[in-house]
Structure 1
């Protein structure tokens, strides 16, 4: 273990306790949202009279929307700020998930699944970018590890939660699959409100750090950015970089889609 100065340790812990609970809860909610369709499948197919092909196609449309809007979403996060844009993501994905509870046809199912992916696009890479604005490189990987652990927690909790919601079949004259979408849609809206009011933007404007702690964090992050800029080749081929990025996005979304396909089977 490196010998970390006490001031550095205090600052990193303060920042972690301030921002990690919120962003981790958002990512956990996203994974529960991706799993809810698997638990709703049997009742939903029976009520809507749709085939396995229709259901699987609708499930996959989520990732098409996600992939198309992933980069634009992150550009807008950089422009408007993390708290506003992540809150927008949570509210829009929550509303669309609630609308899924009232799906009445295959076409409506297709459209809502596509727009659900578009609404949620950029959440994971956006939060990774946001964490880089707060944590020096020495601590960044550890904090990202804590954050991504939310995916495992979300997968673990989705079964008991969705199973219990399915058992409430008939409540308020709703089917179990409708209750799943309603509850898992309300959750991100609540998180979005908390994010909007409590998730801090850049360190420069925050008051939960004293001046000494704030100056240390700002100076450290700025020194790291300057080092990265200095070591980045200036003759990078933009077309090649775009091709590599596109390939990485396709591979990442195909991997995520395989996980959902496994859940649906």
Structure 2
């Protein structure tokens, strides 16, 4: 089985930059591009899409709560209708820029607090899926397997790409350890080991010493994680050494 490698990219704003997008776009097969709500602006979106198209990298709309100050990591009180429309707005904005760059948006992945909301709140999940289908019924949805987002996508007949995180610790519940937890972010060696476990056993060790099943078609590394470029380079090498193909979903 081939595995996709995705990363959150284009998460700067104005003169502020976050992460080495150029280096990361040489290593990933899918780029989750910020759409201007939690991060990103039109020029950053265009540069990211230009580079992704040149590198043959799949472009995804990384939609979030409208929260630049909190980087989309704070849940906002939106109705399902508001979330549907804000999601549609972000998808359309990025797709316009992607098309100008010679590409197109092919999937949607929520960011931060919205990712967690859509994983457990079926109404929020349905709103995101409804926005994606309204824009383009062929858009895939990316998120955690067996979540509300997964169920909403399947109910609507949408393609779902399940993902696991290489650089984040998991709890025994299968959810990510909160960033307030000192062990929430994994170092280089631990991230490489977790990526290999995702691709070979479909299980990861949890922060409390147990194991949990994590079904994943795609392996994610956060673009703002320390040493993310090194982590990605090492993961690619590790997967190749274990004869595990790396490619985006078709």
Shorter-chain-normalised TM-score: which range?
under 0.3
Which protein is richer in helix relative to its size?
1
Select the structure of larger CA radius of gyration: 1
